[in-house]
Amino acid sequence: MRGFATRIVAWQRTHGRHDLPWQRTRDSYRIWVAEVMLQQTQVATVIPYYRRFLTAFPDERALASADEEDVLAQWSGLGYYRRARHMHAAAREVVARFGGAFPRDAATLATLPGVGPSTAAAIAAFASGERGAILDGNVKRVLARHRGVEGDPGAPAVEATLWAIARRLVPREHVEAYAQGMMDLGATLCARTKPRCGECPVARDCVARREGRTAELPGRRTRRALPRREVQLLWIERAGEVLLERRPSSGVWGRLWSLPEADAGADPVAALAERHGVRARLVGRLAPVEHAFTHYALTMHPVRLAATRGVGEAPAECRWAARAELAALALPAPIRSLLTS
């Protein structure tokens, strides 16, 4: 029987993905953009963001010199906004440390903000063919099933075991095809539910398939019910403009523009006047909007308000924005959807 890596490479060349936009380049900057976007985000979602982002910031110098707000605006809707802030910081570091020449080796790449060992190895493999192990979520699932590794792949001991397996399996040649093949296999055949084992190139010696345990492996962490938080979203308008508030740097949606908030049980008119000095009248209430973060679930209750005559400049950390301006602003996806629906 041919070796594991040989079968993965052969399968990738025949059945893997070959038409993704970041596969058409050896530019480590462009590959890095793709790999960071692909963290916790599906390929179909990433493709349009990738193209728009590179149109706005075609190289590391363009990204480094951009305002943070412009970077966040291009990222708006992709989620996990810390990734965008890390990318902005990393681009500035590349310009400062390397004269704008984006690194191509994994060891140097791993020193940049937001670039872990798996992402660094993937960039190096695709940019220069450097040999190294990758271990993203898809690869963890493939290896846990194939080798019968028990436990939550995110647990330190289990992850260490998977890293050791991943390093042993990396071939000495055809590194790029192998890395892409492992990602493709996990994304297309070895899916979390209903894996297509009959089409898998390494199914013959897969422990999970042989033992009928594909539903059990990899193990899942015990999920506790998310705590729930409720807030009111104060949607106040003045002559066709909406009042937006910039969120603080720390916490969710850091430095993005959003609607002002009030406690769920507060009087929205009084809360707006007390916190922002804006007088308004209540227009109506909209259906709640649900959104889940990693650590809690949020129920947002939108409240429509109209500013009274005489309201002037926006309060500190706020701005009035016309509907035509919203597309260019860094807004969280639920807020953008609410305001443009």
Burial degree of 103 (CB within 10 A; 0-12, 13-18, 19+): buried
The contacts of residue 26 (CB under 8 Å, 6+ apart) are: 126, 127, 128
Residue 334 preceded by cis peptide, ω within 30: no
Amino acid at 311: V
Burial tier of 322 (Cβ tally within 10 Å: 0-12, 13-18, 19+): exposed
**Residue listed under structure tokens 């603080």:** 248
Cis peptide before 268 (omega within 30 of 0): no
What is the rounded CA–CA span in Å between residue 228 and residue 296?
6
What single letter denotes the amino acid at residue 313? Answer: E
The answer to whether 209 and 197 have CB atoms below 8 angstroms apart is yes
Find, among 37, 102, 34, the residue nearest to 64 by Cα.
Answer: 102
Of 298, 161, 167, nearest to 228 by C-alpha is: 298
Q: Is 150 a catalytic residue?
A: no
State the Cα–Cα distance between residues 160 and 320, nearest whole angstrom: 50
Q: Which residues contact 67 (CB under 8 A, 6 or more apart)?
A: none
Distance in Å from the first CA to the final CA of the chain:
57
**Two tokens, residue 263:** 């406690």
The CA distance from 128 to 18, in Å, is 17
Identity of the residue numbered 293: F
Query: Considering 35, 60, 176, 261, which one is annotated as catalytic?
Result: 35
Active site residues: 35
